[in-house]
Amino acid sequence: MHISEYTGSQVTAGGAMPRYKVTLTAEEKAKLQELTNTGSGSNKTFKYARALLLCDQGEFADYKWSVAQTADAVGMTPRSVISLRERFVKGGLAAALQRKPYKQRAKTFDSAFEAQVKQIASSPVPEGKSHWSLQMIADRLVELKLVESVSLMTVQRALKKDKLKTH
């Protein structure tokens, strides 16, 4: 096995955490050197490749730098270097070089909700009031059972899309 995890601990401000030892094979080292020499790929891929080369502790290693030295050299934080080493040890070279895509949050409120907000804001103002406030619109949405709850910022964003104001 070309990668290994050992159970020694590295004391940090947050307590002890496992250390991950990067041991590159000759093929992995050649691939990383090609990535850093040709400049192909994204800037992050270049940084990750360079950091892995610097962190390598195997028999083909040229540098064997510490986390802090590597972080300074490639412009990453020490925590990012530790995370990179962990990804490499747990998932291999491909996992270390390619980050998982961020999950897109599902829209909580759709255009029908926005239309309801606009309809309330455009309706006659309640008796005794001079204008609709964000809080009054939010309360009205809950009162009509259109939502269980809604933040004032969500109401404000819905109004802003059509350049509507509460007063």
Specify the pLDDT at position 15: 52
- For residues 46 and 82, membership in a common domain is answered with yes
Give backbone dihedrals phi and psi of 27, rounded to 5 degrees, phi first: -65, -45
| Top-confidence residue, 41 or 137 | 137
- For residues 41 and 115, membership in a common domain is answered with no
Residue 166 covered by a domain: no
Boundary-marking domain end, from 52, 67, 97: 97
Q: How confident is the model at residue 18 (pLDDT cuts 50, 70, 90)?
A: low
Q: How many domains does the chain have?
A: 2
Residue 17 covered by a domain: yes
- For residues 38 and 118, membership in a common domain is answered with no
Specify the pLDDT at position 10: 45
Give backbone dihedrals phi and psi of 98, rounded to 5 degrees, phi first: -110, 115
- For residues 26 and 73, membership in a common domain is answered with yes
Per-residue pLDDT of 55-64, as tens digits, reads 998 887 888 8
According to DSSP, residue 12 is labeled E
- For residues 78 and 16, membership in a common domain is answered with yes
Per-residue pLDDT of 21-56, as tens digits, reads 999 999 999 999 999 998 777 888 999 999 999 999
Q: Which two tokens stand for residue 97?
A: 């070089």
Taking residues 133-147, report their average pLDDT.
Answer: 91
Q: Domain limits at 46?
A: 4-97
- For residues 17 and 91, membership in a common domain is answered with yes
- For residues 87 and 148, membership in a common domain is answered with no
What is the model's pTM?
0.55
* pLDDT for residue 13 is more than 80: no
Residue 24 covered by a domain: yes
Indicate the average pLDDT of the chain. 83
